[in-house]
Chains A and B, each alone.
Chain A
Amino acid sequence: MITALTWLGWALLILFVLFAIAIPLSVLIWWAGWRAATPQTRLQPPGPPAAGPFLVYLSGVDDISGEFSTPYEDALLDVIAERVPGLVIVTDVFAYSFANVGMTSEGNLAWFWAWLNSLRLNKKSPLRRVGRLINLRNMLHVAVSADRRYGPIYNYGVAEMIIQALLRHGYVLGSGAQVALLGYSGGAQIALGTSGYIQATLRAPVQVFSLGGIMNSSDSLSRINALTHLYGSRDRWHRLSDLIFPARWPIFRGTQWNQALAMGKIEQICLGPMVHTGRGSYLDATRRVEDGRSYLDVTADTIAERIRRLTPAMQAA
């Protein structure tokens, strides 16, 4: 029995390692031009022009496609939109694919991810926890984005998908309209990694919001206007970044991260006693802070205020 379990353990480990290696390899193979462009990577006709500003939302590691979102995420984005006049919200970007292909449309594995998703959504299923494999797959994409070898290529690919989404939502090239990227959890790494390319390409103000985000230092920090890291005092996950990314260790003062911190480009704001996800998280509309606002309102207010601050017309008003 023990031998069979050991063999199973080894088989799963090998499978995991192969899968983990396949992700950066697929990114590099795409970059090398060995694989034809997917329909999503071809430019689609732009939408009716909008003045902006624009907010691109990149979901956490439990996301499965650009179309998938939870009611809590939708509620947060709606509240932010109420507070920023003219704000265009972009949600149809899947951060964990350089070609913006959702997991349920992902070639031969589409059925597998769809099955896992149905398992995790079924609260009565005993195999519900197996659905966490979706998070694991997306975490590996976060690792690829944060890796200094693969990150520049992966982030370049996702940045192009974000720009295409901005155009679909009416972004006018050369308008200089502000682009804000909001990344939740692992999405923050992708938001920060892609932001430098978006700023360099659009030549417009770009700021990044990290909601309990896990992110490495990035070359983007030298290009963007600001990075605002929002966290809760009970969120343990966001602290992981300070441990696992040496470029964020205070002893390495010359890194982009520590230089940006010293310049005041990175703002770290504790929103209150929020946890990472679920009840009591940044998206909770039922729990309240001392001044009576819900956790969701505190999060939305902080983001909306900073988007307005970087929009010249709103500053004048």
Chain B
Amino acid sequence: MTLPIEWLNFLLSPQAIAAATLLIFLAGLSEGVGTQGVTLLMSRITPLRFALGLLASALLYVLSAVIWMWALWLAMRALFGAAVPLRLFFVTVSAAYGPLLLGALALLPLVGPAIRWGLRLWSFSIALASIVAVTGLTHWQAAAGALVGTLLMEGARWLLSEPAEAIARRIWALTTGKPHLVRREELPQVIPGYEPVVKGER
């Protein structure tokens, strides 16, 4: 462990946990605005349901972040015997969500998606640096552990994909009031009110 004792005490405090959770929630909200926000507005929902949709997506984001960090912690522990308290690991690695506070920049026309990937890479590099700092592992070990942890989470997601999808659909329908999200391909091609009336057609 390379962290000074004062830092350690702070990182283990309930305030640090709350701050880390708030950071992830805000990152989720910002990412939600940048990605989910477009889909929500495209689905023509009301402002209230839009806010509910974003809130639900931010909460799900926090949940998935907690599961991901837990999977990383398990992988580090099982592969390299890293004995770090889960709380400390969570608070430290949550710093990786800092760059994602700028996730709403994905809304920028044309360059938005590239910025989103850039922020994710930045976030991943902070996650690796945080793991190295908190566990004392090498960068390669941290990267291998992060890969295994991510695969573990993706595996669990794949196993539970059907019920998870059903729950996600339910949450979507509850918050937005629409049965499913509107994809780009489903947008109308003909502008109603101007099409010529052709005999034999309704």
Same complex origin of A and B: yes
Number of A-B residue pairs at CB separation under 8 A: 81
Q: CB < 8 Å: which of B112, B190, B197 contacts A200?
A: B190
Give Cα distance in the complex from A140 to B112, angstroms. 13
Give Cα distance in the complex from A244 to B110, angstroms. 9
On whether the beta carbons of A29 and B187 are closer than 8 Å, the reply is no
For the complex, is B5 an interface residue (Cβ under 8 Å from A)?
no
Q: Which residue of B lies closest to A140 (CB)?
A: B109
* Least CB distance, B51 to chain A, in whole angstroms: 12
Q: CB < 8 Å: which of B105, B184, B193 contacts A152?
A: B184
Q: CB < 8 Å: which of B42, B190, B198 contacts A153?
A: B42
Which residues on A sit within 8 Å (CB–CB) of B45? 32
Give Cα distance in the complex from A34 to B198, angstroms. 33
User: A42-83: which residues lie under 8 A (CB-CB) from chain B?
Assistant: 43
Determine the interface band of chain B, counting residues with CB < 8 A from chain A: 20 to 34
Give Cα distance in the complex from A153 to B109, angstroms. 13
Mask: chain B, 86-122; 1 = CB below 8 Å from A; 0 = not? 0000000000000000001101111010000000000
On whether the beta carbons of B110 and A34 are closer than 8 Å, the reply is no
Q: CB < 8 Å: which of A140, A144, A153, A244 contacts B187?
A: A153
* Least CB distance, B162 to chain A, in whole angstroms: 28
Interface residues of A, count at CB 8 A:
37
Which residues on B sit within 8 Å (CB–CB) of A173? 194-197
Interface-located stretch among A20-28, A257-265, A278-286: A20-28
Q: CB < 8 Å: which of A31, A159, A200 contacts B41?
A: A31
For the complex, is A237 an interface residue (Cβ under 8 Å from B)?
no
Give Cα distance in the complex from A32 to B187, angstroms. 12
Q: Which residue of A lies closest to B107 (CB)?
A: A21
17 A–B contacts, CB within 8 A, in A order: A21-B108, A24-B38, A25-B107, A29-B41, A31-B42, A143-B110, A147-B112, A153-B42, A156-B191, A173-B197, A174-B196, A196-B189, A197-B189, A197-B190, A197-B191, A200-B190, A201-B191
* Inter-chain pairs besides A160-B191, A197-B190, 18 sampled, C-beta below 8 Å: A21-B107, A28-B38, A31-B42, A32-B42, A32-B44, A147-B112, A149-B112, A149-B184, A150-B38, A153-B42, A173-B197, A174-B198, A197-B189, A202-B194, A202-B195, A202-B196, A203-B195, A203-B196
